[in-house]
Amino acid sequence: MGRHETGDEAERSGSGRRDEPGHEAPERDAEAGTTIAGVLRSPRFWLAPLLLVVVIMSFMAALYMGAVADPQRNLHDFPIALVNEDRGGDVDNPDGGTTKQNFGDQVAEGVVSTAAKSGIAVEKVDRTTALNRLNTGKTYGVVVIGPNFTKRAVSLGRAAVLEAKPDPMAIDVFINRGSGTFASAVTTTFADEMSEQVNAQVGERLVDTVRQSLVKADVPFSGAAQLALSNPVNVRIVEPTPLPDGSGNGLSAFYFTLLLILAGFTGAMMVSVVVDGILGQTPIEYGPFYQLRQRLAISRWGTLATKWTIMLLVAVIQSALYIAVCTAVGTSLPNAFALWMFSVLVITAVGVSASSMMAVFGNPGLILNLVFFVILGLPSSGGTVPLEASPRLFAWIAAVEPMHLVYLGSRAILYFDADLDAGLGRSIIQCAIGLLVGVLLGLGGTKLYDRKGWHRFPGGMVLPPRLRRLADGDGPASITTPSPAHVAAVSGSRAPETSGEAAASERPGAVDAPEDPGRMS
């Protein structure tokens, strides 16, 4: 940990200039090489960054690959609605009589019990409820058994005996790709498996019934008739509300969500770097040019409030640019103004919270932001693989993760006509709560630090002995001393001019507050 240049040192070194004609680079390079070799021999120097990188990256690999490794095995509570409208009918008996039966009820019971074994939750509801859930993303598919299902089965059996043309039996499976491409694929796979099950269940019964009737009538049972009766049900995939062109087959909502989170998360980091450089908190570097401004007399709270204000401006402008870019590339935007307002809220909430994390926790706040907004967010978003097809851990994470909530809001605006019941209402409320938490965290933390006198400049506070030994080892403390004028301005109290000037002249590395605090040192 090196120290910052003081004012005199900065004026002598400048940016991109040699110190003096007597500058001897080879000797300095040799000294630097010796220093580097010395620190690399110390595990304390390289072990911390090594462990930090491998632990974070391994954690990310475990989450990402664990979320997508085996979706079929991880299926749980995958919502499917079942509508049984079959009114039943009189089924022929081998003895020539009839029995009142309902094949739709029998098929529905078999589908529910079989699906539960594979992690699919099939719930019997009426048609209106089922389609409403499908059109708000609350269910991934709707199975509809028509009102004449049993009667068509009877007609099919009689057709084999009388050689008439039967009415086809059909079960419709409705999907909505707005709920997610992978979710629609799982529903389609479920429909294929259901087709095999239903045909085996209904077909076996029809074949046995017809065979007994034909044997009694001494009529041969042709192979073609047996084949037709063994597969009597046609399971059809129907998409009642197909997505428009420019929806990315249901992926545009996920990628737009990713854009919003990155605008808030990375935007907060970039704003922090620029603002800290302008305020003189950290150096500004352009290639080989190194500049450290004179530190402005500003509190931690004042610095954070500045970053929040800039992030609000970023949110307003960047959201509008996102809409413009999406329009230019042909993305379907049925509710552009609602999407812009929602984007402003999301970017502001994420940016304010990320800035507060860095203000309160310092450099570790960058890692916390990365883990919270990105590493945990992507696999638990539900945008690519639905949460019901990932390990249950990700459903628990999604309950508090902003990316999942933002995805629900973006999806509702882009695919479900900005319906509040489709997840938009929940997303807005929880984003507002997240914004409030971020404001309270930043306000409370920075105000506390300012009140304690823990100012944000070298020497603003003294490290505890154990932490100092961890940071500096056996070497000298890696801090410089601020000017008394700076301390007085930040603390809100004025130091006596005489004592301040005397202290400034005696204290090595002290820098008088400049007349123009914004100029380069």
For 211-252, write each residue's pLDDT tens digit.
Answer: 656 555 555 455 555 656 667 888 999 998 888 889 988 899
The amino acid present at 329, given as its one-letter code, is: V
188 near 140, Cβ under 8 Å? no
What is the CA angle 50-354-372, rounded to 5? 55
Instruction: Please give the structure tokens belonging to residue 426.
Output: 């929940």
Q: What is the full DSSP assignment across 294-326?
A: PPP---HHHHHHHHHHHHHHHHHHHHHHHHHHH
Please tell me the distance from the alpha carbon of residue 216 to that of residue 225, in angstroms, as a whole number. 17
Backbone phi, psi, residue 98, to 5°: -130, 155
Q: What's the pLDDT score for residue 199?
A: 84
Q: What is the DSSP letter of 422?
A: G
Please tell me the distance from the alpha carbon of residue 65 to that of residue 379, in angstroms, as a whole number. 9
Q: What's the pLDDT score for residue 513?
A: 38
Burial environment of residue 330 by CB neighbours within 10 A (0 to 12, 13 to 18, 19 or more): exposed
Instruction: Please give the structure tokens belonging to residue 304.
Output: 């954070």
Dihedral in degrees, nearest 10, Cα atoms 408, 410, 412, 416: -140
Please tell me the distance from the alpha carbon of residue 100 to that of residue 91, in angstroms, as a whole number. 6
333 near 327, Cβ under 8 Å? yes
> 10 Å Cβ neighbour count for 380?
25
Q: What's the pLDDT score for residue 156?
A: 72
> Which residues pair with residue 141 across a beta bridge?
175
The amino acid present at 410, given as its one-letter code, is: S
Contacts 24+ apart (CB under 8 A), 467-471: 471/1
Residues 389-413 pLDDT 10s: 999 999 999 988 999 999 999 999 9
The amino acid present at 505, given as its one-letter code, is: S
Strand-strand pairing, 284-286 and 89-92: unpaired
Coil vs helix vs strand at 191 = helix
70 near 118, Cβ under 8 Å? no
CA-wise closest residue to 385 among 183, 91, 161: 183
335 near 327, Cβ under 8 Å? no
Per residue in 95-129, is it b (16+ CB within 10 Å) or e — as a string? eeeeeebbbbbbbbebbbebbeeebbbbeebeeee
442 near 304, Cβ under 8 Å? yes
> 10 Å Cβ neighbour count for 142?
25
Q: What is the C-alpha radius of gyration for the chain, rounded to an integer number of angstroms?
A: 35
Instruction: Please give the structure tokens belonging to residue 135.
Output: 């059109």
Per-residue pLDDT of the chain in tens (521 residues, 90 and over written 9) = 444 444 444 444 444 444 444 444 555 555 655 666 766 777 767 788 889 899 999 999 999 898 888 888 889 999 999 999 988 777 766 666 677 878 888 889 989 988 988 899 999 999 999 999 999 999 999 999 989 888 887 777 666 555 555 666 889 999 999 998 889 999 999 999 998 888 888 777 776 666 656 555 555 455 555 656 667 888 999 998 888 889 988 899 999 999 999 999 999 999 999 999 888 888 888 888 888 888 788 889 999 999 999 999 999 999 999 999 999 999 999 999 999 999 999 999 999 999 999 999 988 999 999 999 999 999 999 988 999 999 999 999 998 899 999 999 999 999 999 999 999 999 999 999 999 999 999 999 999 988 888 877 766 666 677 766 766 666 655 554 454 555 555 555 444 443 333 333 333 333 333 344 333 33
Q: Cα–chain-centroid distance for residue 32?
A: 44
Q: Is the dihedral of CA 303, 309, 310, 315 positive or negative?
A: positive
Per residue in 279-300, is it b (16+ CB within 10 Å) or e — as a string? bbbbebeeeeeebbbbbbbbbb
Instruction: Please give the structure tokens belonging to residue 94.
Output: 């081998």
Q: What's the pLDDT score for residue 297?
A: 80
Extract the runs of DSSP E, i.e. beta strands, from 265-384: 284-286, 289-291
CA-wise closest residue to 260 among 366, 380, 403: 403
Integer angstrom CA distances of residue 448 from 307, 440, 445, 451: 18, 12, 5, 5
118 near 189, Cβ under 8 Å? no
Backbone phi, psi, residue 89, to 5°: 180, 180
Q: What's the pLDDT score for residue 150?
A: 81
Q: What's the pLDDT score for residue 163?
A: 57
